[in-house]
């Protein structure tokens, strides 16, 4: 990594660190595991480890991800991406950012890396909280045992790497739109439309044509509920559509007429 880019990354992180974005990511990751913990404490007979020890971890993991993958996660991506890019518009700081000795390329990718790292932070903390939500009920409730075996960490890690990949198209599009429109309503509205399109695509045998459905399709694959056989691998499609969206964003950032 060249040092200029390292500096740009540091600058972007300094801007991001004190925004609510980091907190939103962590609270967002906490929400479902918290609900799952309470549900187990309330209904130990049907929900807890003791109800089905053999499949406990995989069920907890899949249940937790169910709401997350289809709705909350895409929504969070839209929110956080728009918010972080909006910082520059809202504070009128594009001009200040762009007159510092950093190349446009550096600035563009540094911001993007920070946002995708936040996504990664979210994944890691969400899975960590899921694991905790599997252990804590056993510690708090006398009728519930602490699970005797480890969660399937290898599967979780692989699933998450793939999940991150399938989120990139939405992230790329959202990043491009947020940079393009100073009014944050526009990217958020388009992003929401994309989420809805993604939900419809889940019922469609040609659903692979909608890049915003890839994370949901990936969830189906990782939870063993695969419905369609697509002619193309959605992970490759994720990568390709991300490169297209982000590429358009990069070019429009480079050639933007009015820079601040």
Partner 1 sequence: MYTLQTKQLSHRFGNGQMAVDHINLQVPDQSIYCFLGPNGAGKTTTLRLLLGLIKPTAGTINFFPNHPSPNRVALMQRIGACIEVPSLFHHLTAVQNVAICANAYRTPKSRMDEVLQLLGLADAKNKKVSQFSLGMKQRLSIAIALLHQPELVILDEPTNGLDPQGIAEIRSTIIELNKNEKITFLISSHLLSEVEKLATHVGIIHKGQMKFQGTMTELYQASSKAAKLILSTDNDEAAMQLIATHFDMQPIASGALIYSSIDQSLSLKINRMLHDHRIGVSQLQWQDNDLETHFLRLIQNPTL
Binding site for partner 1 (CB under 8 A): 4, 7-8, 10-11, 14-15, 18-19, 87, 90-93, 95-96, 98-103, 257-260
Among the listed residues 133, 125, 129, the one whose alpha carbon sits nearest the alpha carbon of residue 48: 133
| Strand extents, DSSP E, 55-106 | none
Nearer to partner 1, 92 or 183 (CB): 92
* Closest distance of CB 127 from partner 1, Å: 29
SS3 98: helix
* Residue matched to tokens 């075996």: 149
H-only helix segments in 141-184: 153-180
- Residue 142 vs 258, nearer CB to partner 1: 258
CB 72 to partner 1: min, Å: 25
Least distance to partner 1, CB of residue 188, Å = 20
Q: Closest separation between CB of residue 100 and partner 1, Å?
A: 4
Write down the residue that tokens 């801007």 correspond to.
Answer: 15
Question: What Rg do the C-alpha atoms of the chain give, in angstroms?
Answer: 20
Work out the angle at residue 29's Cα, subtended by the Cα atoms of residues 23 and 32, and round it to the nearest 5 degrees: 135
Cα–Cα distance measured from residue 260 to residue 254, given in angstroms and rounded to the nearest whole number: 13
Which of residues 105 and 125 has its CB atom nearest to partner 1 in the complex?
A: 105
Toward partner 1, which CB reaches closer, 99 or 153?
99
Q: What is the 8-class DSSP label of residue 51? A: G
CB of 118 to partner 1, least distance (A): 16
Task: Tell me whether residue 158 or residue 259 sits nearer to partner 1 (CB atom).
Answer: 259
11/47 with CB nearer partner 1: 11
Closer by beta carbon to partner 1, 10 or else 225: 10
Backbone torsions φ then ψ of 136, nearest 5 degrees: -60, -45
- Asked if 245 and 172 count as a contact pair (C-beta separation under 8 A), the reply is yes
Least Å distance, CB 179 to partner 1, is: 15
Please tell me the distance from the alpha carbon of residue 173 to that of residue 243, in angstroms, as a whole number. 10
Contacts of 56 by beta carbon, 8 Å cutoff, 6+ apart: 49, 134, 147
Q: Cβ 98 to partner 1, closest distance in Å?
A: 6
């Amino acid at each position: 990594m060249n040092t200029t880019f390292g500096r740009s990354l540091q600058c972007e992180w300094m801007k991001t660190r004190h925004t609510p974005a980091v907190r939103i990511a962590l609270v967002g990751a906490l929400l479902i595991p918290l609900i799952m913990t309470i549900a187990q404490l309330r209904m130990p007979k049907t929900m807890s480890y003791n109800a089905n020890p053999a499949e406990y971890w995989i069920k907890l993991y899949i249940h937790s991800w169910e709401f997350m993958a289809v709705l909350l996660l895409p929504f969070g991506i839209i929110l956080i991406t728009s918010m972080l890019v909006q910082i520059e518009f809202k504070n009128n700081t594009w001009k200040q950012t762009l007159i510092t000795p950093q190349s446009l390329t550096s600035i563009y990718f540094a911001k993007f890396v920070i946002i995708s790292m936040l996504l990664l932070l979210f994944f890691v903390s969400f899975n960590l909280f899921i694991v905790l939500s599997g252990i804590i009920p056993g510690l708090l409730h006398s009728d519930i045992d602490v699970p005797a075996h480890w969660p399937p960490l290898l599967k979780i890690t692989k699933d998450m790497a793939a999940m991150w990949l399938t989120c990139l198209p939405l992230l790329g599009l959202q990043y491009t739109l947020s940079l393009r429109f100073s009014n944050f309503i526009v990217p958020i509205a388009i992003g929401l439309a994309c989420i809805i399109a993604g939900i419809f695509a889940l019922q469609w045998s040609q659903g692979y044509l909608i890049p915003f459905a890839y994370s949901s399709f990936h969830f189906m694959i990782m939870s063993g509920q695969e419905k369609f056989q697509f002619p193309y691998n959605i992970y490759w499609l994720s990568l390709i559509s991300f490169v297209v969206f982000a590429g358009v964003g990069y070019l429009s950032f480079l050639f933007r007429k009015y820079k601040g």
